[in-house]
Amino acid sequence: MSGMYGPADRAESIATIHAALDAGITLLDTGDFYGMGHNEMLIGEALKGRARDQVQLSVKFGALRDAAGGWLGYDGRPKAVRNFLAYTLQRLGVDHIDIYRPARLDADVPIEDTIGAIADLVKAGYVRHIGLSEVGPETIRRAAAVHPICDLQIEYSLISRGIEGDILPTCRELGIAITAYGVLSRGLISGHWQKGAAKSGDFRAVSPRFQEGNIDRNLALVEALRSIADAKGVTVAQIAIAWVAAQGDDIVPLIGARRRDRLSEALGAQAVRLDADDLAAIERAVPKGAAAGARYPEAQLVHMDSERQA
């Protein structure tokens, strides 16, 4: 809703958030860098007049941006953490954040220092729980030794299954849940994506999996999924969401719907039950590692501790 996937309609964005809350969705996830504060202000506006306890706000911080929207790196220093949080509370119009997490590891700051700073914010009442994002097993263990970690937010979908190696077992050992993003792989495996649809400024215009040389292979996987979806009378997006949900009660699928029609389709996935035969058919249609292309451009992969330790 704030620039990552191209332009979005403000009134439709707010109507989508309201429709999600009215449908019983309780978790809203954002980052202070999405639209450089735009997304937090949008959520703040959407939440006006609603009970604060109706929603859990999960916020990522730490990404540094310039006036042109460029990405400058990450800042996990304790005083930066306190500064980011102050601005976030102001933009959201709330007095506490339910889950606060560094978006990426700052390679220049020990994770203990960053988590220690958030732990101080927990003690002060500004933050309820601490989460992580896109980090690997060693960092997860070091962070959890400082303060309990409620969840790791990380990409997990039919075509991004890297966490099944060491990351998911580490989280399960430590009692840390997974908030899975990219469940629809940014729309690539939603069943709606048309080759070449990404406009400039949309992440999909630079994402390797959407590029010539990879996209045909990836859309062929979607068509294989479509035949399974058709046979069950559901949509491709619903199969993709239901598959992630079926991987464990400790895995929460996070869906990036920008419009009410997309939201309504995504909500329909809750009624989709996949039995062992369905799961086996899906595995045959989209075997592990089947996607062509990396999940991020190289310039962004270098900041991903989860990839380094995978």
Ligand X SMILES: NC(=O)c1ccc[n+]([C@@H]2O[C@H](COP(=O)([O-])OP(=O)(O)OC[C@H]3O[C@@H](n4cnc5c(N)ncnc54)[C@H](OP(=O)(O)O)[C@@H]3O)[C@@H](O)[C@H]2O)c1
Q: Which chain residues interact with ligand X by CB under 6 A?
A: 5, 29-31, 60, 103, 133-134, 153, 181-187, 190, 192, 237, 254-258, 262, 265-266
Q: Is the dihedral of CA 308, 100, 79, 46 positive or negative?
A: positive
- B/e letters for 57-66, b = 16+ CB within 10 Å, e = fewer, are bbbbbbbebe
Instruction: Name 99's Cβ contacts closer than 8 Å, sequence gap at least 6.
Output: 56, 57, 58, 59, 127, 128, 129, 130, 131, 150, 151
Counting Cβ atoms within 10 Å, is residue 181 exposed (0-12), middle (13-18) or buried (19+)? Answer: buried
| Minimum CB distance to ligand X smaller for 209 or for 274 | 209
Q: Between 137 and 182, whose beta carbon lies closer to ligand X?
A: 182
Asked whether the beta carbons of 306 and 136 are under 8 A apart, the reply is yes
Q: Which is nearer to ligand X, 24 or 125 (CB)?
A: 24
Pair 99, 129: CB distance under 8 Å: yes
Minimum Å gap between C-beta 123 and ligand X is 25
- Contact between 104 and 308 under an 8 Å Cβ cutoff? The reply is no
Shortest CB 285 distance to ligand X, Å: 18
Q: How far is the CB of 276 from ligand X (least distance, A)?
A: 25
The residue (of 61 and 126) whose beta carbon lies closer to ligand X is 61
Q: How far is the CB of 204 from ligand X (least distance, A)?
A: 8
Contacts of 83 (CB under 8 A, 6+ apart): none
Query: How would DSSP label each residue in 180-205?
Result: EE-TTGGGTTSS---TT-PPTTBGGG
Cα torsion 82, 83, 87, 92 to 10°: value is: -20
CB of residue 22 vs ligand X: minimum separation in angstroms? 17
Check 5, 34, 156, 181 and give the catalytic one.
Answer: 34
Q: Which is nearer to ligand X, 276 or 299 (CB)?
A: 299
Q: Which residue is nearest to ligand X (CB)?
A: 256
**Residue 296 among the catalytic residues:** no
Just list the catalytic residues.
34
